[in-house]
């Protein structure tokens, strides 16, 4: 996790150097930093304590839950509490290899009530 972040940071530095840091990207980096801070918070620990994946509802040990952005940062999501949920590794992996639209179908029923307002 940290490695990934560092790589991104290097990328950021490089792009900054050539004066090519698009706003979106800066938002993503900022979002990741914010998420990291929230992951250390009591709020997050409390959220993970029941050990339930927000997507599939499966019970997993709290330390196996990962922090997931319901609306990914890369798609305009933010690192705010309403957009961060504990997810099991399985769902997390799924999210990685499914197309965004497929993932959306997968979780649609589950997060319907949070409707992805404004998300295109």
Point out which residues bind Zn ion (CB under 5 A): 53, 55-56, 88, 91
The whole-angstrom separation of Cα 90 and Cα 28 is 24
Q: Which is nearer to Zn ion, 21 or 110 (CB)?
A: 110
Closer to Zn ion by CB, 44 or 55: give it.
55
* DSSP H or E segment with residue 14: helix 2-17
Residue 110 CB, nearest distance to Zn ion (Å)? 10
Nearest approach, Cβ of 53 to Zn ion (angstroms)? 3
Q: In the complex with Zn ion, which residue's Cβ is closer, 29 or 56? A: 56
Tell me which H or E stretch contains 87.
Answer: strand 84-87
For 95, other C-beta atoms within 10 Å of its C-beta total 19
């Amino acid at each position: 996790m940290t490695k990934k972040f560092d790589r991104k940071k290097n990328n950021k530095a490089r792009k900054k150097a050539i004066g090519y840091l698009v706003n979106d990207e800066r938002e993503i980096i900022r979002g990741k930093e914010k998420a990291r801070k929230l992951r250390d918070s009591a709020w997050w620990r409390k959220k993970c304590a029941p050990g339930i994946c927000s997507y599939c509802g499966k019970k997993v040990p709290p330390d196996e839950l990962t922090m997931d952005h319901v609306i990914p940062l890369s798609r305009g999501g933010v690192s705010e509490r309403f957009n961060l949920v504990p997810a099991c590794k399985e769902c997390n992996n799924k999210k990685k290899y499914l197309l965004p639209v497929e993932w959306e179908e997968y979780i649609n029923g589950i997060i319907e009530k949070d409707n992805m307002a404004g998300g295109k």
